[in-house]
């Protein structure tokens, strides 16, 4: 009986911890834009219940060039962000074709969050940081065998 109560308490604490982590990301809600050399990246974030949904669209001129769907939810007791990338026609996923890319939420508070890649995405790091109430920085990087192979940084303004 003591073992069962210990397990029950553990799962309750884990569940509350996840809910607090996700709720601390409320600062990300809304529409954000980042100018690029050719156009703009637009992101829309929505926090409903225990789920954070992000939609990112890259525009070149008046044309959509890429669409990214991001969903942060609790999966098997862990906060996991799943991502899929699509081209302009959205006919098939460009990345995450068979299954979504997965990153684990490892840090979250009322000003930033960090996700690290798991499985095939090991070495990927995604970080969003609120710089002011109306600006944020998003950074994504990939390392392989200890070497940085990819890194991008975007500055977004709240719209």
Give pLDDT tens digits for 127-152.
999 999 999 999 999 999 999 999 99
The residue ranking higher by pLDDT, 67 or 99, is 67
pLDDT at 20 over 60: no
pLDDT at 89 over 80: no
pLDDT at 8 over 50: no
The whole-number average pLDDT for the span 57-81 is: 92
Long-range CB contact pairs, 150-159, < 8 A, 24+? 154/34, 154/41, 155/34, 155/131, 156/32, 156/33, 156/34, 156/41, 156/43, 157/32, 157/33, 157/34, 158/30, 158/31, 158/32, 158/133, 158/134, 159/30, 159/31, 159/32, 159/33
Domains parsed from the chain with CATH numbers: 2-158 (2.40.128)
Predicted structure pTM score: 0.82
pLDDT at 34 over 50: yes
């Amino acid at each position: 009986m003591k073992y069962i109560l210990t397990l029950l308490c553990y799962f309750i604490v884990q569940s509350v911890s996840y809910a607090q982590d996700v709720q601390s990301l409320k600062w990300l809600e809304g529409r954000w834009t980042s100018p690029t050399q050719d156009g703009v990246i637009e992101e829309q974030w929505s926090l409903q219940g225990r789920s954070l949904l992000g939609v990112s669209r890259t525009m070149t001129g008046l044309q959509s060039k890429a669409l990214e769907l991001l969903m942060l939810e609790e999966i098997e007791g862990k906060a996991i962000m799943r991502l899929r990338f699509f081209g302009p026609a959205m006919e098939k996923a460009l990345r995450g074709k068979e299954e979504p890319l997965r990153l684990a939420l490892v840090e979250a508070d009322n000003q930033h969050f960090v996700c690290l890649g798991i499985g095939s995405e090991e070495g990927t790091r995604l970080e969003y940081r609120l710089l002011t109430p109306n600006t944020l920085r998003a950074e994504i990087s990939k390392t392989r065998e200890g070497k940085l192979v990819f890194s991008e940084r975007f500055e977004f303004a709240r719209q």
